[in-house]
Amino acid sequence: MIFDVLTLFPGMFDSPLQESILGRAVKQQLLEVRAHNLRDWAEGKHLTTDDAPYGGGDGMVMKPEPVARAVAALKQKSPAAKVVLLTPQGKPFKQNDARSLAQESGLIFICGRYEGFDERIRQTLVDEEFSIGDFVLTGGELPAMVMIDAISRFLPGVLGSGDSALTDSFADGLLEYPQYTRPAVFNGLSVPEVLLSGDHGKIAQWRREQQLLRTFQRRPELLEDVFLSNSDKVFIEKLKCQLEQQEEIQGDDAD
């Protein structure tokens, strides 16, 4: 897969792609990231890529023409590539988006600096607009790198069989169960006995219940979109009853 990135800071993509799993995948040519300097498509003595906003106000706005020229040039080489814009106003980027974008032959990421884009970039050049979370960063480069990382895990051969994308958190839409390794006691805390029992059926059941418990406690909204077996549903009903009882006790205390 080819990821083209338009940015004023192409160097930001170097080291994350040289290390660890992505470093190996790049060496094996399973993916390629081409970071292009947007200034290469700028014009004028100062090669400006930004300008003051119409209507006044603080901050600068990214000019549309350099981005349009750059996207046109990149699309000549990869006509099928989808153009992705990173902004806090975008659609929240989810694991399912990573999974489906991994099916594309190429993606072109537009990374903004400044306070904003000329709206016509969004209207005429962009296929999909994503946000990686409800916080404000200094530019779109780290969000693009985050998306490249999450998408690359779904490309054939990138993950070894050990850390398969199919078996980890979110593969089934639930949070992960707690994991333990040696020593058996650490800072006075023991490993749950069931994990030492050797009973693989019991261990699988405990892990499933821990996943359900964690998801129920920390991210209950995720349970709406998950396939639940009958025994999963029974377990969650128990959790709901426990929660109601606790709330009754707290209500009584307050009286």
- Residues in contact with ligand 4GX by the rule CB under 6 A: 86-88, 112-113, 116-117, 131-133, 135-137, 139-140, 143
Question: What does the block give as tokens for 193?
Answer: 């006995």
| In contact, 109 and 74? CB cutoff 8 Å | no
112 or 173: whose CB is closer to ligand 4GX?
112
CB of 144 to ligand 4GX, least distance (A): 8
- Catalytic site residue 153? yes
Q: Which residue is nearest to ligand 4GX (CB)?
A: 112
24 classed as catalytic: no
Active-site residue identified among 4, 50, 141, 153? 153
Residue with the two structure tokens 């590539």: 81
- Closer residue to ligand 4GX in complex, CB, 87/215: 87
Name the catalytic one among 24, 32, 88, 178: 88
Closer CB to ligand 4GX, residue 53 or residue 73?
53
Closest CA to 158 of 35, 32, 34: 32
Considering the complex, what minimum distance in angstroms separates the CB of residue 222 from ligand 4GX? Answer: 20
Q: How far is the CB of 20 from ligand 4GX (least distance, A)?
A: 23
Nearer to ligand 4GX, 64 or 143 (CB): 143
Q: How far is the CB of 48 from ligand 4GX (least distance, A)?
A: 17
Residues with catalytic roles: 88, 115, 153, 168
